Structure 1
Amino acid sequence: MLHESERRGTPFGGDNSAGSEIRDFSSFVLSMGLLDFPLLGRRFTWCQPNGGVMSRLDRFLLSDGWWDLWGEATQWALPRDVSDHSPVVLRYSSQSWGPKPFRFNNFWLSHRDFGEVVQRSWNRSRPPEWMAVRLSTKLKTLKGDLKYWHSQAFGRLEGRIEELVEALNLLELRVERSPLSSADSEAKFKGFHDLWALLRARESQLFQQSCSRWLREGDANSAYFHSNINLRRRRNSILALRVGSRWVESVSEVRAEIVDYFRNHFSEALMDRSTLDGVAFASISEDDGVVWLSLCVRRRLGGLS
């Protein structure tokens, strides 16, 4: 078990060693860089025959490399028969939830062409005169231009980094045999400049995706940031919803259930409400109101003086 909430029926503390065993196992999982996926279908995978003690003893632990290769996955606890353990199955999800929203990348600001791209895109469009439509059209055009520019300037980021490293290594081997020509020296200088720019872009991108505010961008550690990115993705993922006694997994069903929930939550049922129609309230005449107002004004002015 990884948490005390994964057992029911046995108290922790005192002479019970379960607490220390949980801490040791959690420390092992953390040190090995393994990922624990949420369990769906039921909370516990083992129980005593009398049902007095229940625990989650069965699970899949996966590495970051597996997550990067296969993507979203869930583990489901299936109904058990005569065994005291529930079978657990790992299910891979490849459903498409539609296009991803546009996100501004902070490392764009360090590129020498970014300002020119924005200015050219902003001045290129000629939207209608209505200001609200004009702003919306300009932003939509800018979004498309930035996406295209990003694909040209930073596309295939990992592949371009590998290609530059390989080209620089070839130049290093060549200089061991003979001095480099002026053209090779210039190519080496440009290669190092482009490589540093791509490495900084990758570092900044990983930092932004991981949303780690307690580290500076210069302290990036790829494995650490990748684990934070995957953790954030898992927390933000809705792979299944429990509606009553059933589970829904398909994209269309999950969307429909979410829409129905908020529609019912914010809708107002028609009901008869009590009103004040026909109730006679005590009132003063218009002349009495003028006199009362003048008295209040005099008292206010007297207090100010």
Structure 2
Amino acid sequence: MDLPLTDRKYTWFRRRSCSQIDRVLVNVEWTERFPDIRLKGGPRGLSDHCPLILKGTRLRGGPRPFRSLDSWFTHEGFLRMVKNEWRSLGEAQFTCKLRALTVPLRKWHKDNFRDMDKKLQQFEEEIAKLVSDGIYDGTTEARWKALVRFCKKWYVRKELHWKQMSRSKHAANMDKNTRYFHNIASARRRNNRIDSLMIHGRLVRNQVRIKGEIRKFYKDLYRQEYVPRIGFRDGLVKNIQLEEAEALEVLPSEEEIREAVWDCESSKAPGSDGYNMNFIKKC
């Protein structure tokens, strides 16, 4: 794999010629071990080439936003937990209940789905220990089958998780592509990360200031400006019939809402509230 440069396009310069001659190549196992690597170019100095610098320090961009995961539905008690928490929220507004539901969902995820790799490693080590002991009675066989079943279940959950994080459409069905999905998700994270930003002619690397400038840019972009109201003269617009006017104001039925929701793709990226369509459909 050829790691992309994050801060420049070229690494070699000679008069008016420039090219990206220097590169860093890594294998798949290396990217799995160090998913947060960044490749940057150093100062050129007297040489025609820029030195390449690898940085693996993970940038903390603040608290992670909430995101519903498809792998949660493979847990036997997940839907029961969601229904109980939903009932406990009472008769509040739908959007308010969704926002309040994120708190127990975060806690449930931390208690049940955190450290998937660690759980798999524990199961595999226990299976290897059973095999190495050489004892094949009924109790050992039952324990071995249970551990194998747990391993399969957690591998499916891990694959679902990384497939959702990668947003890959190359493999529609589950086909043991966990490593592929993991690498795609890591590459997306590296490409989407903003390490530095040119602000008023100066290169800024402070993450707090970068976030503030981005927020200010979009706040100014979508700011509502004063626009004088223009009225329609009598007779300029044809009036619609009363029946048509009433039909426009009728609230959509439950069947129409359900049909609109079910027409949306389940694996689409979640909205600002963190819930994707798969969560809405199943819960």
Q: Same fold (TM over 0.5)?
A: yes
Distance 2:114 2:56 in 1: 28
Matched, 1:150 2:109: yes
Partner of 2:206: 250
Give RMSD over aligned pairs. Answer: 3.3
Matched, 1:47 2:3: no
Once the two structures are TM-superposed, the CA of residue 249 in structure 1 deviates from its matched residue by 1.0
Matched, 1:171 2:133: no
Structure 1 letter corresponding to 2:147: G
Structure 2 SS opposite 1:247: strand
Structure 2 unpaired stretches of 5+: 239-283
Structure 2 SS opposite 1:223: helix
- Asked if structure 2 preserves the Cα contact closer than 8 Å seen for 1:60 and 1:75, the reply is no
Structure 1 SS opposite 2:10: coil
Matched, 1:196 2:152: yes
Distance 1:269 1:173 in 2: 74
Matched, 1:76 2:71: no
Structure 2 letter corresponding to 1:148: K
CA change 1:77–1:194 in 2 (3 A) is: same
1:95-114 to structure 2, matched below 5 A, reads 95-114=59-78
Greater share of helix: 1
- Asked if structure 1 preserves the Cα contact closer than 8 Å seen for 2:6 and 2:38, the reply is no
Describe the superposition over 1:86-115 as per-residue Cα deviations: whole angstroms up to 9, x where unpaired. 344344544321111111111222222121
Describe the superposition over 1:87-146 as per-residue Cα deviations: whole angstroms up to 9, x where unpaired. 4434454432111111111122222212111111111234xx6x43xx344323422222
1:205-284 to structure 2, matched below 5 A, reads 205-267=161-223
- How many residue pairs are counted as aligned between the two chains? 233
- Asked if structure 1 preserves the Cα contact closer than 8 Å seen for 2:37 and 2:56, the reply is yes
Structure 1 SS opposite 2:203: strand
- Asked if structure 2 preserves the Cα contact closer than 8 Å seen for 1:154 and 1:198, the reply is no
Distance 2:11 2:132 in 1: 58
- Asked if structure 2 preserves the Cα contact closer than 8 Å seen for 1:107 and 1:205, the reply is yes
CA change 1:261–1:93 in 2 (3 A) is: farther
Structure 2 letter corresponding to 1:194: F
- Asked if structure 1 preserves the Cα contact closer than 8 Å seen for 2:197 and 2:204, the reply is yes
- Asked if structure 1 preserves the Cα contact closer than 8 Å seen for 2:39 and 2:52, the reply is no
- Asked if structure 1 preserves the Cα contact closer than 8 Å seen for 2:11 and 2:19, the reply is yes
Q: Greater RCO between the two (CA within 8 Å, min separation 6)?
A: 2
Structure 1 unpaired stretches of 5+: 1-33, 277-282, 294-305
Distance 1:92 1:188 in 2: 39
Partner of 2:252: none
Distance 2:137 2:169 in 1: 44
Q: Identify the range of structure 1 (244-253 vs 85-94) with the bigger mean alpha-carbon deviation.
A: 85-94
Question: % of aligned pairs identical?
Answer: 23
TM normalised by structure 2 equals: 0.69
Partner of 1:115: 79
TM normalised by structure 1 equals: 0.65
Partner of 1:18: none
Aligned partner of 2:21 among 45, 50, 57: 57
- Asked if structure 2 preserves the Cα contact closer than 8 Å seen for 1:76 and 1:91, the reply is no
Q: Which has the larger radius of gyration?
A: 1
Partner of 1:36: 3
Once the two structures are TM-superposed, the CA of residue 204 in structure 1 deviates from its matched residue by 1.0
Once the two structures are TM-superposed, the CA of residue 266 in structure 1 deviates from its matched residue by 4.1
